[in-house]
């Protein structure tokens, strides 16, 4: 399957591929929507940060009420097509914020590739992984200490059948609650970029 699901934005140079999966608010309100507490989602600025880091950035605005499992299957097929074309799995990173991170978790379970990189941002429950999902790949978890929605992903490496190679978790303390992931904040963007570039420390 060709890369048709997503619109590739900006420059397409560089070796690494980033699939960026945004939060649910963009499904509801689009790029011009203004959340009453968190403001606009800085979607274009987030994509620009990955592009400026010389990462091939693949993303789109999902339709409202997108089914997470169905969409994850489409993303997994997109990645499979890259791997079939000879792209190294370690050069592919799936970055998801909130619902996008929830979808990315399903992608991990569907791909079952221990070398693909994943960044789950504000999308875990603090205790266990998703029911019935075994996780694969190198996983970076980023969450905000003041966020009541997205918590630690510490249970993921212990999920039954999981084969997580590298695992790292970062707790931020921006005070922005769940709104931290609305912004193109280098405090989460730079670690995600580093992970995509295989700087795992």
Contact 91, 55 (CB under 8 A): no
* CA nearest to 59, candidates 100, 20, 15: 20
109: helix, strand or coil: helix
Q: Could you tell me the pLDDT band of residue 38, with boundaries at 50, 70 and 90?
A: very high
- CATH superfamily of domain region 7-196: Alpha/Beta hydrolase fold, catalytic domain (3.40.50.1820)
> What pLDDT, on a 0 to 100 scale, did the predictor assign at position 67?
98
- Domain ranges in the chain are 7-196
pLDDT, tens digit, 9 for 90 and up, residues 72-113: 999 999 999 999 999 999 999 999 999 999 999 999 999 999
Mean pLDDT across 168-192: 98
Reported as type and span, the H/E element at residue 18 is strand 17-21
In this predicted structure, the answer to whether residue 64 has a pLDDT above a threshold of 80 is: yes
């Amino acid at each position: 399957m060709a890369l048709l699901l997503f619109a590739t934005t900006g420059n397409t140079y560089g070796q690494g591929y980033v699939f960026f999966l945004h939060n649910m608010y963009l499904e509801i309100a689009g790029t011009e929507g203004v959340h009453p507490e968190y403001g606009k989602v800085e979607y274009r600025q987030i994509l620009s940060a990955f592009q400026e880091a010389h990462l091939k950035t693949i993303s789109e605005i999902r339709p409202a009420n997108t089914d997470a499992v169905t969409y994850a299957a489409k993303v997994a097929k997109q990645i499979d097509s890259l791997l079939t074309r000879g792209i190294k799995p370690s050069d592919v990173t799936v970055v998801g914020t909130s619902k996008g991170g929830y979808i990315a978790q399903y992608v991990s379970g569907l791909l079952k590739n221990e070398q693909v990189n994943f960044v789950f941002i504000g999308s875990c429950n603090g205790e266990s992984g998703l029911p019935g999902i075994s996780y694969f790949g190198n996983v970076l978890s980023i969450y905000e200490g003041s966020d009541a929605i997205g918590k630690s992903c510490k249970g993921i490496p212990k999920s039954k059948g999981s084969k997580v190679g590298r695992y790292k978790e970062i707790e931020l303390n921006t005070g922005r609650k769940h709104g931290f992931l609305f912004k193109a904040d280098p405090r989460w963007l730079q670690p995600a970029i580093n992970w995509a570039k295989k700087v795992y420390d």
